[in-house]
Amino acid sequence: MTTRVAVLKGGRSLERQVSLASGARVADALERLGHDVVSIDVGSDLVAALREARPDVAFIALHGRGGEDGTVQELLEVLGIPYTGSDVHGCMRCSDKVLTKLALRDGGLPTPEWVALGEVAFQDLGAADALANVAERLGFPLVVKPVSQGSALGVKFAHTAEQLPTALVAALAYGSRVLLERHVAVRELAVSMVCGDHGARVEALPIVEAVPRGAAYDFEARYEIGQTDFVCPAALEPAVAEHVRAIALAAWELLGARGFARADMILGEDGPTVLEVNPIPGLTETSLLPQAADAAGMGFDEVVDRVLADALSRSAGASVG
Amino acid sequence: MSERRPPRSSAHELERYAGLFASRTRVMRSSAMRDLMAVTVRPEVISLAGGLPDTSTFDPALFKELVGRMPSAAALQYGPSEGLQGVRDAIVSVMAAEDMAVDPDEVIVTTGGQQAIDLVTKTLIDPGDVVIAEAPTYPGAVPTFCAYEADVIQIDVDSDGMRIDALEQTLAALDAAGRRPKFIYTIPNFQNPAGVTMSLERRLALVEIARERELIVLEDNPYGMLRYEGEALPTLRSLEAPGPTDENDFVIYTGTMSKILSPGVRVGWLVAPRPLLAKLVLGKQSTDLCSSSLAQHFVSEYFASGDWRPYVASLCELYHRRRDVMLDALAEHLPAAATWTRPHGGLFIWVTLPDYIGTSDLLARALAENVAFVPGEAAFADGRGQHSMRLNFSSSTDENIREGVRRIGKIVAEQVALYGTLTGRPSGAPAAGGGETTEATPDAPAAPAAEPQAPGEGLASVLQLPRRGALGGRRSREA
């Protein structure tokens, strides 16, 4: 069946460049699948562009603010245009790291201990005086992250109390709230998940592990180019891998993800914990979800096909505006 | 609808290509900062980030006339690798205006000044060879040096340009290690990005060092003609070879039409000691055979059409005013803890913030306010510059310069206040020592810096948004 698909890409988020690459790949795949594709670089004329394009469905290939936080999803619902991926609530829960962690904790899933603080707390409520308590409770090294920045942008480490203010200033450049998390990195894993064919159950793909090069455990060097290898499937005991994937799938259910998602996890001495779930994972040539799909023998086109079918199956009966 | 193509297996494809890449491409990567820069092109963003001249000042009628006069057959044909005679003659006249006497046959026309840097690096650098550059240096030169796997050592600049004492120390240290740099890269006039100008004393010292040690100096002079105050200083080239018969042994000079006519024509040039010249021409042939004939004929017609200097003078007048607007706006809007350079010409002002503010992170906040700048780390191969930013004043209107600087001032003030709150040292009151500075030092390692972006999560983003060190395959060392 030929479907008219609007691929939403680009936008104003800090991850614009990645989104343009993801969107271009998705558009290519959709065309190969025989669909009628119109690509839209999302801007202030989005509604007009959608009205003119009159798509049957929108494939959201946006990353970051506005694209995967429920904003564009809400707009598409207003316009009556079905869309791929998680719904408004799912996106909101996934894109806000605090909401994610609260949901995970309430649902009994493991996630590293954390404290969340807003700029207002520092400015108006004297939260700086409580930083020592935070540090005491969580212990160093601490990871400081913007609460609602999807990518690694703005993520800082503080090894000592003296480094904390600088890390907070940097993370708060990306948004008004920060998450302080105990750093428990032992092995870093990513579990990509794709919905099954035509409404079948979600499937967890082979696990990707970020492995630092060289013998020495150098925490900073791991993230320098050429210092990290991405191994898929990760070398894990089958039972451990199964456990990791089961937790990722439980997080999917708990957060209400749809279509596709990627859970970023840590495998520590006490077992796996979930750091976050990305509702619109990167879809570029070098992104992890396509690599994981490939390791599972699933081509990129099939991923796109499944995610599109999921969107259309949800929309049965919805009007198209 | 496009033609159907068979589906590809992405990861296997990627792996196959990855196996094909030369090892030097490992350093040819994007960076988080570069990805952020993609957002700056949106129309609602006031971009003080580009290095753009204002081409709207060029008379459209003259443009049409020049295009109409271009000889079609020749303009559409290949040309000599060294460049068209008319362009080389024009270059001789431009260099004469800066008191340099050259023969047209000493000149190679290049595809912009960028190709000149690339050709010199390609011709002189083996992997691991040392290139000495200024700290900060032209952000576009850093990836070129790294692509040829040079070991880049950066020498601090102050208000008098490259610190020759630091250069001498570095050369001595290299000597002791049995190494010598292949060349020293410098922008003596209104340096990009710092805006500073090398003093006459230091120019003389640098030429002397080059002579004594038989070291090549690559003198990059794109902005020399854009002087808004003070007296012009002699180029390194003219200091080494003051008379028309003097031989030029160690200075390779590069210039460009980009700032005096148009960057769109992509016409730059190289003047080099003769033994080097032949190799450079061979290098150019293997790159692009010749620079665009179409563009060169345009340049040639332009210089034949009359005196080129009044247009440069009009640019100077315009940019001079915009520089002053920016300096005034900085004084009005930036918190006292910030310092900046006062360029006597060129296109850029270099602003340095307190050492607890990272400008790559600040750019995220700036983009939320629809204003952009170049974070300082782009001007370093070694991860320094994190607290500085480059601002361009030539390509924005007075109003946009004021508004852009106002927005930057606002977010910097917010971060200063936040840091004050976090450390219990409220800094609402202006601190001493702000404003225009005589220093252009990259940043002082004082406040305990948080580790630059290293994700504990976001694994895919590690691939999508490479970070620190992306350009530095080889870690360069501080002088």
Q: Are residues A234 and A101 in the same domain?
A: yes
| pLDDT per position as a tens digit, B60-86 | 999 999 999 999 999 999 999 999 999
Q: Are residues A23 and A125 in the same domain?
A: no
Q: Are residues A233 and A263 in the same domain?
A: yes
Residue of B289, B159, B131, B321 whose CA lies nearest to B216: B131
Q: How far apart are CA B415 and CA B423, in angstroms?
A: 12
> Is residue B31 scored above 90 in pLDDT?
no
Catalytic residue, chosen from A10, A11, A13, A15, is: A15
| Candidate from A152, A163, A286 with C-beta closest to B458 | A152
Residues of B in contact with A293 (CB under 8 A): 11
Active site residue A282: yes
> Is residue B204 scored above 90 in pLDDT?
yes
> Is residue B439 scored above 80 in pLDDT?
no
Helices (H) and strands (E) in chain A, counts: 11, 13
Structural domain total, chain A: 3
| Candidate from B11, B418, B455 with C-beta closest to A291 | B11
Q: Do B7 and A299 touch (CB under 8 A)?
A: yes
Q: Are residues A169 and A191 in the same domain?
A: no
How far are the Cα atoms of A19, A59, A206, A300, B337 from residue A25, in angstroms, in the given order? 10, 12, 21, 9, 46
> Is residue B372 scored above 80 in pLDDT?
yes
Residue written as token pair 């119109």: A38
Active site residue A278: yes
The alpha-carbon gap from A32 to the nearest alpha carbon of chain B, in Å, equals: 5
Q: Are residues A194 and A279 in the same domain?
A: yes
Q: How far apart are CA A200 and CA A207, in angstroms?
A: 21
Strands annotated E in B70-150: 107-110, 130-135
What mean pLDDT comes out for the span B24-35?
Answer: 60
First to last CA, chain B: 57
Computed over every residue of chain B, the mean pLDDT equals: 85
DSSP summary character for residue A231? E
Domains detected in chain B: 29-56+311-443 (3.90.1150.10), 73-304 (3.40.640.10)
Note whether residue A306 is domain-resident. Answer: no
Residue of A176, A179, A177, A191 whose CA lies nearest to A272: A191
How far are the Cα atoms of B216, B263, B268 from residue B253, in angstroms, in the given order? 10, 18, 11
pLDDT band at B107 (very low <50, low <70, confident <90, very high): very high
pLDDT at B432: 43
Note whether residue A305 is domain-resident. Answer: no
Residues of A in contact with B6 (CB under 8 A): 32
What percentage of chain B carries pLDDT values higher than 70? 81
pLDDT at A47: 95
Q: Are residues A248 and A281 in the same domain?
A: yes
Contact in structure between B338 and B353 (CB atoms under 8 Å): yes
Note whether residue A212 is domain-resident. Answer: yes
Q: Are residues A188 and A176 in the same domain?
A: no
Q: Do A122 and B422 touch (CB under 8 A)?
A: yes
pLDDT in tens, chain A (321 residues): 689 999 999 988 888 888 999 999 999 999 999 999 999 999 989 999 999 999 999 999 999 888 999 999 999 999 999 999 999 999 999 999 999 999 999 999 999 999 999 888 888 888 888 888 888 899 988 889 999 876 677 888 888 989 999 999 999 999 899 999 988 767 889 999 999 876 668 999 999 998 866 543 444 444 444 556 788 899 999 999 999 999 999 999 999 999 999 999 999 888 999 999 999 998 988 788 998 999 999 999 999 999 999 999 876 644 443
| Candidate from B364, B452, B454 with C-beta closest to A174 | B364
Q: Do A173 and B364 touch (CB under 8 A)?
A: yes
Q: Are residues A223 and A246 in the same domain?
A: yes
Q: Is residue B183 helix, strand or coil?
A: strand
Q: Do A18 and B464 touch (CB under 8 A)?
A: yes
> Is residue B9 scored above 50 in pLDDT?
no
Residues of A in contact with B469 (CB under 8 A): 224-225
Q: Are residues A175 and A245 in the same domain?
A: no
DSSP summary character for residue A232? S
Picking from A239-243, A315-319, B174-178, B217-221, which range would have the lowest pLDDT averaged per residue? A315-319
pTM: 0.83
Strands A142-146 and A177-182, how do they pair? antiparallel
Residue partners of B412: CB distance under 8 A and separation at least 6: B334, B335, B338, B353, B357, B362
- Domain extent, residue A249, equals 93-109+184-297
Q: Do A156 and B418 touch (CB under 8 A)?
A: no
| Candidate from A150, A188, A299 with C-beta closest to B459 | A188
Assigned token pair, A305: 């096909």
Geometric angle at alpha carbon B241, from B237 and B245, rounded to 5°: 135
Q: Are residues A240 and A105 in the same domain?
A: yes
| Mutation target vs A (from B422, B425, B475; most A CBs, 10 A cutoff) | B422
Residue written as token pair 């699948």: A33
The alpha-carbon gap from B468 to the nearest alpha carbon of chain A, in Å, equals: 6
CB pairs under 8 A between A and B: 234
Q: Do B418 and A16 touch (CB under 8 A)?
A: no
DSSP string, B262-310: -STT--EEEE--HHHHHHHHHHHHHHHSSS-HHHHHHHHHHHHTS-SHH
The alpha-carbon gap from B363 to the nearest alpha carbon of chain A, in Å, equals: 8
Q: Is B139 left (phi over 0), alpha (psi -120 to 50) or beta?
A: alpha
Residues of A in contact with B29 (CB under 8 A): 225
Residue of A118, A251, A212, A114 whose CA lies nearest to A172: A118
Radius of gyration of chain A from its Cα atoms, rounded to whole angstroms: 20
Assigned token pair, B209: 């060092």
pLDDT at A125: 85
> Which strand ranges, in their side-by-side order, compose the sheet holding B151-158?
B107-110, B268-271, B251-256, B216-220, B181-186, B130-135, B151-158, B161-162
What percentage of chain B carries pLDDT values higher than 90? 71
Active site residue A276: yes
Catalytic residue, chosen from A276, A287, A305, A306, is: A276
Higher-confidence position of A14 and B30: A14
Note whether residue A81 is domain-resident. Answer: yes
Closest residue in chain B to residue A288, using alpha carbons only: B460
Contact in structure between A208 and A182 (CB atoms under 8 Å): no
Contact in structure between B81 and B291 (CB atoms under 8 Å): no
Picking from B115-119, B263-267, B274-278, which range would have the lowest pLDDT averaged per residue? B274-278
Please name the helix (run of DSSP H) or strand (run of DSSP E) that holds residue A236, with its range, or none: none
Residues of B in contact with A170 (CB under 8 A): 358, 361, 450
Residue of A46, A64, A51 whose CA lies nearest to A8: A46
- Here the CATH number for the domain that contains residue A48 is 3.40.50.20
Note whether residue A304 is domain-resident. Answer: no
Please name the helix (run of DSSP H) or strand (run of DSSP E) that holds residue B138, with its range, or none: none
Closest residue in chain A to residue B18, using alpha carbons only: A286
Q: Do A168 and B418 touch (CB under 8 A)?
A: yes
What mean pLDDT comes out for the span B272-282?
Answer: 92
First to last CA, chain A: 20
The alpha-carbon gap from A271 to the nearest alpha carbon of chain B, in Å, equals: 16
Q: How far apart are CA A14 and CA B34, in angstroms?
A: 11
Interior/surface letters B133-172, b for 16+ CB within 10 angstroms, e for the rest: bbbbbbbbbbbbbbbbbbbbbbbbbbbbbbbbebbeebbe
Catalytic residue, chosen from A264, A287, A306, A310, is: A264
Q: How far apart are CA A199 and CA A179, in angstroms?
A: 35
Q: Do A155 and B12 touch (CB under 8 A)?
A: no
pLDDT at B180: 93
Q: Which amino acid is at A298?
A: M
Assigned token pair, B156: 């601090």
pLDDT at A185: 65
Note whether residue A149 is domain-resident. Answer: yes
pLDDT at B240: 87
| Candidate from A153, A159, A173 with C-beta closest to B415 | A173
pLDDT at B431: 42
Q: How far apart are CA B200 and CA B99, in angstroms?
A: 15
DSSP summary character for residue B383? S
| Candidate from B2, B449, B461 with C-beta closest to A152 | B461
Note whether residue A50 is domain-resident. Answer: yes
Q: How far apart are CA B426 and CA A215, in angstroms?
A: 45
Q: How far apart are CA A104 and CA A97, in angstroms?
A: 10
Instruction: Kindly report the number of other CB atoms within 10 A of residue A174's CB atom.
Output: 23
Q: What is the 3-state secondary structure (H, E, C) of B87-102?
A: HHHHHHHHHHHCCCCC
Closest residue in chain B to residue A278, using alpha carbons only: B458
Q: Is A118 left (phi over 0), alpha (psi -120 to 50) or beta?
A: beta
Q: How far apart are CA A185 and CA B177, in angstroms?
A: 39
Contact in structure between A263 and A277 (CB atoms under 8 Å): yes
pLDDT at B28: 56
How far are the Cα atoms of A45, B349, B385 from residue B342, in angstroms, in the given order? 41, 7, 18
Q: How far apart are CA B401 and CA B407, in angstroms?
A: 10
The listed range with the strongest mean pLDDT (A259-273, B305-319, B378-392) is B305-319
Residue partners of A81: CB distance under 8 A and separation at least 6: A6, A50, A55, A57, A58, A320, A321
Residue written as token pair 């990722």: A248
> Is residue B376 scored above 80 in pLDDT?
yes
Active site residue A223: yes
- Here the CATH number for the domain that contains residue A191 is 3.30.470.20
Q: Do B11 and A18 touch (CB under 8 A)?
A: no
Q: Do B465 and A278 touch (CB under 8 A)?
A: no
pLDDT at B36: 66
Q: Are residues A98 and A121 in the same domain?
A: no
Residue partners of B146: CB distance under 8 A and separation at least 6: B27, B28, B152, B381, B471, B472, B473, B474
Q: Are residues A227 and A278 in the same domain?
A: yes
Closest residue in chain A to residue B425, using alpha carbons only: A128
Helices (H) and strands (E) in chain B, counts: 16, 15
Beta bridge partners of B268: B110, B256
Catalytic residue, chosen from A133, A217, A218, A223, is: A223
| pLDDT per position as a tens digit, B35-64 | 667 777 778 899 999 888 999 999 999 999
Note whether residue A321 is domain-resident. Answer: no
pLDDT at A150: 64
Give the distance from CA B401 to its chain's centroid: 21
